[in-house]
Amino acid sequence: MNKLSLLVLLSALSLAVLPACQQQSKPATSTPTSDDGVVTVEGSEKDKAEIADVLIMEHSCFVDREIDCWTRLWSQKTDASWQKRRDDGTDIVYSGWNKVYPFAFNLMNNPESDTIFLVAEEVYRKPMTYFFLSEKDAVVEWWQFNGLPDKSRYQTSSERRVMTKEDGKWKVLQVISRWDIGEMLTPEMIQQYRQSGQIQ
């Protein structure tokens, strides 16, 4: 089993095993192993910047309901997946591009059809932590604060993405999102975080 296949398997299990008590993001430094014990390599600042751009754009395309833009940023492989643990602790998983794409297409065209798949329009992120398995495979983790529709509160979530490079471009392979961790923040708390430079 190669490194990427192992990470795909471990990421599929991450909803069940990520410690609920975890509250702080890890620094984005050169780390010999990921949290799953997989040996990693040093990634370039260029790759980190490119991955961050892809992840921010992927969210923007989803919020703007631009399915073609969103699709171009995804790896359309059989091991693509979208996973979310809702704030009530229940899991939703779409495995395989043939399941991920219809889910995204239907949600973008019917955004109010099922609120369990809420994708916040306004989000703030703590700095991302990068784990590179090779020059073409990486895992990214960060803490995110998701604005509710009325902007009265921000739900904390733990985010993980498995990334792969295809034809020289980084693509999203897996989304793993946990909304059952951390506290609900007020707009005032978000403003304090922004002023102190803790979130972007």
Rg of the chain (C-alpha set): 16
- Look at residues 117, 124, 128 and name the one whose alpha carbon lies nearest to residue 185: 124
Q: What is the pLDDT of residue 111?
A: 61
How many residues comprise the chain?
200
Centroid of chain to Cα 129: 11
For residue 23, tell me if it sits in a domain: no
For residue 22, tell me if it sits in a domain: no
Q: What is the pLDDT of residue 86?
A: 80
Q: CA-CA distances (angstroms) from residue 15 to 62, 150, 165, 179, 198? A: 22, 28, 24, 10, 25
Task: Report whether pLDDT(18) > 50.
Answer: no
Q: Which domain does 185 fall in, by range?
A: 3-11+29-196
The Cα 11–Cα 48 span in angstroms is 20
Residue pLDDT, tens place only, 22-79: 333 333 334 445 555 566 788 899 999 999 999 999 999 998 889 999 999 999 999 9
For residue 76, tell me if it sits in a domain: yes
What is the mean pLDDT of the segment spanning 138-148?
Answer: 94
Tell me the residue type at 195: Q
Tell me the residue type at 159: E
Residues 6+ apart with CB under 8 A from 131: 31, 34, 38, 40, 138, 139, 140, 141
Identify the residue with better confidence: 56 or 182.
56
For residue 16, tell me if it sits in a domain: no
- Helix (H) or strand (E) segment spanning residue 190: helix 187-196
Tell me the residue type at 91: D
Residue 136: CATH number of its domain: 3.10.450.50
- Helix (H) or strand (E) segment spanning residue 63: helix 45-63
For residue 58, tell me if it sits in a domain: yes
For residue 19, tell me if it sits in a domain: no
Q: Please state the domain count of the chain.
A: 1
For residue 42, tell me if it sits in a domain: yes
For residue 24, tell me if it sits in a domain: no
Residue whose entry in the numeric block shows the structure tokens 């990427």: 4
String of DSSP letters for 100-134 = HHHHHHHHHHSTTS-GGG---SSEEEPPPEEEESS
Half-sphere exposure of 190 (CA within 13 A, CB side): 22
pTM (2 d.p.): 0.80
The Cα 144–Cα 159 span in angstroms is 7
